């Protein structure tokens, strides 16, 4: 067991909880295996197993978190690793391991807590659906794999769990595989993320080739530690990049695939075809967070070579991609009518914020938004699920309305989530985390454009969320069957998540930056002077203004009236062309359709033609030649070879017949010959020894 410290702190001995860390992902995975092996669908057992195992994981995560917290409060930067050799080929060995540090501890608690709440919610949501058992089997596997990603101390172990996450996302998105749209969405998600993963794998291989290890931390010998990084920096790659930068970009490509960054975001909205708890789990809390987490995990690699306060090429790319994604997705979200689709684009947008935060502000900024977003976005998804559940499967916001009175609890919690997402000042977590990102953008040295983009994104966010809430909860009921409130098993997680969505922001205010202090292992004191940094208060004021602007615009356009489903949208009436672009998702899918997919289709046809004409013709030609040769051989055989062979066979048969006479089948004959032989041999032996 090895561990190391990064700052002023004394070394900590590896603790028992670090040794037991593997149990956290293992428990849900084992539960999933057991559920898979159940002889028949047993709803109670499978739900109990999943929730129970994840509860234990949460418990262990909390213990681990507490351990790290205790170490931190004593002034120690806890980073405990458990490494072991997995495969050994001669002198080359591939190591796996897990790590317990603030980053993984925070992530563990978040994933297992949100996951657990979603599991509990699912019991209510999936109650009336078939394949309840299968659902929980996949969910458990998913949660286990995600927790594996979190604890991994090896890029390889991370990649393995990463791929299991990919697999289970495929299974869960395509859970209702009878629906063609779900099946297509599952395939789309799987293939799109594979594109990113190819680059990721290339990055891993390159990293292994350069440093000879895939462990992140290994007592100074890990790939994220100074020795390996300086080696990587010394190695130039193409386009003026160092090897570290190139590998970082490759890894970022993988993260972009998982986290739905431009241009690999297309799978994420379609993935809403899965059950809503799946959407919540995948697109709010875990899977998409995996990409962000990956960047946070390999941050030393991304940051390598940066001067103090400066940035690197890789981080610049991350920033630009993130900022572009944030605005791009927010624009599309404005013109969507599916309740979950709006949330999906919102997620993409928020992921863009996270990436931009990582690129500009560092691990703590990005991770803080990741954590707060995980809570309020899962709250929103679960709230949306509750709405869909209450509206009997209806997802079009134009066919809802006035649910404020029908589903009061859902409305209240949804409003909390919505305000948190918009970044409503002071009392909602989104405000603080988004503010952190904006502040980082303000101080970014390279360009100002990201700041403007992100501020515009914040405006759009407040606008489209207001539009959605106005459609769904205000006005009058436009659907067919009246809606009703969801059961307690569904609303209880909503309430808990709402509490987190509000309260969580206070661990990362400028006055008391506890979260970043915890992640970066520095001491934190409460200090109101934190607000007095230059530009900060102004920025907060602007951002508050922006939020109020968005909210006001939304309320103005949609709050007063109750639009009819068949009527065109207010904005559509104003600018139908732009609205059409936005409604059709800026034609990215179509672009891929006419470029990538069309190219593949064309290439497929070319290959088909080659196969049929060129290779097929060649094979047919060869076959024809051989058939002719065979005909010739047959003639030869019949007339010439067979005669000789038959003759030989006859000779053999007659010879065998002669020999077989020896074989009388009588035991006594054999015995006689045996005795005779023994007598003769003994006689020869004795006679020769005498001589």
Partner 1 sequence: MSIAFYLIAALTLAGGLAAVLLKNTVHCALALTVAFAGQALLFLDLDAQFAGFAQILVYIGAVAILVVFAILLTKGSETPKGSVYSRHSFAGLVIAAAVFAMLGWAVIHSVAAVPRGPAATPSVTVLDIGNALMSRYVLPLEIVALLLTAALIGAVIIAMHEKERAK
Partner 2 sequence: MTPLAGFLLVAALLFSIGLAGALTRRNAILVLIGIELMLNAANLNLIAFWRYGPHPEALTGMMFAIFSIAVAAAEAAVGLGLVIHLHRHAHTTDLDAMNRMRG
Question: From CA 151, how far away is CA 22, in angstroms rounded?
Answer: 8
Among 44, 668, 688, 691, binds partner 1 (CB under 8 A): 668
Q: Is 307 an interacting residue with respect to partner 2 (CB under 8 A)?
A: no
Q: Is 678 an interacting residue with respect to partner 1 (CB under 8 A)?
A: yes
Stretch that binds partner 1, among 116-124, 386-394, 457-465, 663-671 (CB under 8 A): 663-671
487: left (phi over 0), alpha (psi -120 to 50) or beta: beta
Picked from partner 1, partner 2, none, the partner binding residue 665 (CB below 5 to 8 A depending on kind) is partner 2
Mask 33-72, x = binds partner 2 (CB under 8 A)?
----------------------------------------
Q: Is 667 an interacting residue with respect to partner 2 (CB under 8 A)?
A: yes
Picked from partner 1, partner 2, none, the partner binding residue 614 (CB below 5 to 8 A depending on kind) is none
Question: From CA 279, how far away is CA 669, in angstroms rounded?
Answer: 86
Please answer whether residues 190 and 271 qualify as being in contact, where contact means their C-beta atoms are separated by less than 8 angstroms.
no
Helix (H) or strand (E) holding 239: none
Q: Which is nearer to partner 1, 209 or 675 (CB)?
A: 675
Q: Is 654 an interacting residue with respect to partner 2 (CB under 8 A)?
A: no
Tell me the closest approach of the beta carbon of residue 631 to partner 2, in angstroms.
Answer: 41
Q: Is 671 an interacting residue with respect to partner 2 (CB under 8 A)?
A: yes
Among 622, 623, 649, 676, binds partner 1 (CB under 8 A): 676
Picked from partner 2, partner 1, none, the partner binding residue 529 (CB below 5 to 8 A depending on kind) is none
Among 639, 663, 688, 689, binds partner 2 (CB under 8 A): 663
- Tell me if the bond preceding 263 is cis, omega within 30° of 0: yes
Interior CA angle at 657 toward 654 and 658, to 5°? Answer: 90
Tell me the H-state helices in 482-615.
Answer: 488-503, 514-520, 536-554, 570-574, 576-583, 588-592, 598-609
In DSSP terms, 81 is beta-bridged to 2, 99
Question: From CA 371, how far away is CA 194, in angstroms rounded?
Answer: 26
Q: Which of 293, 291, 272, 270 lies closest to 281, judged by CA? A: 272
Q: Which is nearer to partner 1, 641 or 682 (CB)?
A: 682
Distance of CA 348 to the CA centre of its chain: 13
Q: Is 680 an interacting residue with respect to partner 2 (CB under 8 A)?
A: no
Tell me the closest approach of the beta carbon of residue 619 to partner 2, in angstroms.
Answer: 50
Picked from partner 1, partner 2, none, the partner binding residue 686 (CB below 5 to 8 A depending on kind) is partner 1
Picked from partner 1, partner 2, none, the partner binding residue 595 (CB below 5 to 8 A depending on kind) is none
Picked from partner 2, partner 1, none, the partner binding residue 623 (CB below 5 to 8 A depending on kind) is none
Please answer whether residues 288 and 355 qualify as being in contact, where contact means their C-beta atoms are separated by less than 8 angstroms.
no
Tell me the H-state helices in 225-362.
Answer: 226-234, 243-259, 267-270, 276-280, 287-297, 299-303, 313-334, 339-361
Q: Is 683 an interacting residue with respect to partner 1 (CB under 8 A)?
A: yes
Among 41, 682, 688, 691, binds partner 1 (CB under 8 A): 682
Q: Is 670 an interacting residue with respect to partner 1 (CB under 8 A)?
A: no
Please answer whether residues 27 and 54 qualify as being in contact, where contact means their C-beta atoms are separated by less than 8 angstroms.
yes
Picked from partner 2, partner 1, none, the partner binding residue 661 (CB below 5 to 8 A depending on kind) is partner 2
Q: Which residues lie near partner 1 (CB under 8 A)?
A: 666, 668-669, 672, 675-676, 678-679, 682-683, 686, 690
């Amino acid at each position: 067991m090895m561990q190391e410290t990064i700052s002023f702190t004394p070394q900590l001995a590896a603790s028992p909880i670090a040794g037991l860390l593997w149990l956290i992902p293992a428990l849900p995975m084992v539960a999933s295996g057991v559920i898979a092996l159940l002889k028949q669908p047993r709803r109670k057992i499978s739900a109990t197993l999943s929730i129970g195992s994840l509860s234990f994981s949460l418990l262990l995560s909390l213990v681990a978190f507490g351990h790290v917290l205790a170490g931190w409060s004593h002034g120690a930067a806890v980073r405990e690793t458990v490494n072991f050799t997995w495969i050994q080929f001669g002198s080359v060995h591939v190591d796996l391991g897990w790590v317990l540090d603030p980053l993984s501890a925070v992530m563990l608690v978040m994933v297992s807590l949100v996951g657990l709440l979603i599991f509990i919610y699912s019991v209510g949501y999936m109650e009336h659906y078939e394949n309840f058992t299968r659902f929980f089997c996949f969910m458990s596997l998913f949660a286990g794999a995600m927790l594996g990603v979190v604890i991994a101390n090896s890029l390889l172990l991370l990649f393995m769990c990463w791929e299991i996450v990919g697999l289970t996302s495929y299974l869960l998105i395509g859970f209702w595989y009878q629906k063609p749209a779900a099946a297509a969405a599952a395939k789309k998600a799987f293939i799109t993320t594979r594109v990113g993963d190819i680059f990721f794998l290339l990055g891993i291989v390159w990293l292994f080739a350069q440093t000879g290890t895939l462990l992140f931390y290994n007592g100074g010998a890990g790939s994220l530690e100074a020795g390996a990084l300086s080696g990587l920096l010394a190695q130039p790659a193409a386009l003026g990049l160092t090897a570290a930068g190139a590998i970082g970009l490759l890894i970022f490509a993988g993260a972009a695939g998982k986290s739905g960054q431009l241009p690999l975001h297309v799978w994420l909205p379609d993935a809403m075809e899965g059950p809503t708890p799946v959407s919540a789990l995948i697109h709010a809390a875990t899977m998409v967070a995996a990409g962000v987490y990956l960047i946070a995990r390999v941050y030393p690699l991304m940051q390598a070579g940066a001067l103090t306060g400066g940035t690197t090429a890789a981080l610049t790319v991350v920033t630009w991609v993130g900022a572009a994604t944030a605005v791009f997705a927010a624009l599309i979200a404005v013109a969507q009518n599916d309740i979950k689709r709006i949330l999906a684009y919102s997620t993409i947008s928020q992921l863009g914020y996270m990436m931009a935060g990582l690129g500009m502000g560092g691990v703590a900024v990005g991770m803080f938004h990741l954590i707060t977003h995980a809570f309020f976005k899962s709250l929103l998804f679960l709230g949306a699920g509750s709405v869909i559940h209450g509206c009997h499967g209806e997802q079009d916001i134009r066919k809802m309305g006035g649910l404020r009175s029908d589903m009061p609890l859902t409305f209240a919690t949804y409003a909390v989530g919505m305000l948190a997402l918009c970044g409503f000042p002071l009392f909602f977590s989104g405000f603080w985390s988004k503010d952190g990102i904006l502040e980082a953008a303000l101080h970014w040295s390279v360009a100002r454009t990201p700041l403007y983009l992100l501020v515009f994104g914040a405006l759009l966010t407040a606008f489209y969320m207001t539009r959605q809430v106005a459609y769904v909860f205000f006005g009058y009921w436009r659907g067919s069957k009246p809606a009703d409130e969801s059961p307690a098993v569904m609303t209880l997680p909503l309430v808990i998540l709402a509490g987190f969505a509000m309260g969580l922001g206070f661990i990362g205010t400028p006055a008391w930056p506890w979260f970043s202090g915890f992640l970066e292992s520095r001491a934190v004191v409460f200090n109101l002077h934190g607000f007095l940094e230059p530009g900060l208060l102004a920025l907060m004021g602007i951002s508050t203004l922006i939020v109020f602007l968005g909210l006001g615009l939304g309320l103005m356009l949609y709050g007063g009236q109750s639009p009819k489903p068949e009527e065109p949208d207010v904005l559509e009436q104003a600018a139908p062309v732009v609205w059409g672009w936005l409604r059709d998702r800026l034609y990215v899918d179509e672009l891929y359709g006419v470029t990538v997919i069309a190219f593949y289709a064309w290439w497929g046809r070319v290959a088909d033609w080659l196969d049929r004409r060129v290779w097929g013709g060649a094979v047919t030609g060869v076959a024809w030649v051989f058939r002719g040769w065979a005909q010739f051989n047959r003639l030869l055989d019949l007339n010439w070879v067979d005669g000789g062979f038959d003759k030989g066979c006859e000779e053999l048969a007659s010879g065998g017949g002669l020999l077989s006479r020896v074989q009388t089948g009588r035991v006594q004959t054999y015995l006689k010959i045996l005795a005779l032989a023994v007598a003769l041999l003994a006689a020869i032996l004795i006679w020769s020894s005498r001589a």
